[in-house]
Structure 1
Amino acid sequence: MNVIHPQDWAKPKGFSHGVVVEGPGRWIVLAGQTGDEDGTFPAELARQADVALQKIIRLLKEAGGGAEHIVRLTWYLTDREEYAEAGAGIGAAWKATLGRNFPPSTLLYVSGLVDRAAKVEIEVTAFIS
């Protein structure tokens, strides 16, 4: 993958504006991940994000991939202020699961998710060449 980043643009923090993927390979598309495997939800948003990211890594491993293969993340969040307050914890969860990979990401604020206790849901698209 090659990151698309015009030289005259400010460097984005925690994501890339785009990537180019060339050559034969496999696409992996993951449904939005929330909550623990047993269907429970931690109370804190940062912990929910950590759980979702860990589940994403587990699913990618099942498909023969890893964090380095993620080409797009879409985050659905229920509370703008809580997300801002959870920044350090989310950053730590990111570092522990995704490392220094910063694929294109979109964050959306929604009025709620299917599971009422869910505060974040993360979808992933990955490509393995």
Structure 2
Amino acid sequence: MRVLQPAEWSKPRGFSHGVMVDAPGRWVVLAGQTGGDEKGDYAADLAAQVATALKRIMKLLAEANAGPEHIVRLTWYLTDRSEHEAAGAGIGAAWKETLGRNFPPSTLLYIGGLVDTQAKVEIEVTAFVPNG
């Protein structure tokens, strides 16, 4: 994958504007993952829910023999802007623990709510694993 970064644009923090994939391989598309654990229980705070959602994503990617370096797109759905802004350090720590220094293209949306009313975040993932 090649990160798309025009020289005259400032480098974004925490994501990439785009990536280009020009190789044979396989696509991995994950449904939106929320911050609920295996039993369907949710932590009260957003950072903990993000940590759980990212761990779920890593587990699903491992099922496809993929890792965070293969992610080509993230779409985040969050239910509360102020809670998201306040949880920045915790979300950053969760990111570092699971995705490391991988910053794929991302879109973040604030929405009125998710299907599970306890969920504060849902993250969709698209990944590409090159052959070989």
- After TM superposition, the score normalised by the length of structure 1 is 0.99
- 1:92 corresponding residue in structure 2: 93
CA distance, structure 1, for counterparts of residue 48 and residue 23 of structure 2: 37
Give, as a single letter, the amino acid of the residue that structure 2 aligns with 1:76.
Answer: Y
Gaps of at least 5 residues in structure 1 are none
Cα RMSD after superposing both structures: 0.4
- 2:33 corresponding residue in structure 1: 33
Tell me how far 1:73 sits from its aligned partner.
0.2
CA distance, structure 2, for counterparts of residue 86 and residue 37 of structure 1: 23
Sequence identity percentage: 70
Give, as a single letter, the amino acid of the residue that structure 2 aligns with 1:26.
Answer: R
CA distance, structure 2, for counterparts of residue 38 and residue 2 of structure 1: 38
How many pairs align?
129
Tell me how far 1:23 sits from its aligned partner.
1.1
Could you report, residue by residue, the CA deviation over 1:93-124 in whole angstroms, capped at 9, with x for unpaired residues? 00000000000000000000000000000000
Instruction: Answer yes or no: is 1:21 the counterpart of 2:21.
Output: yes
Tell me how far 1:33 sits from its aligned partner.
0.4
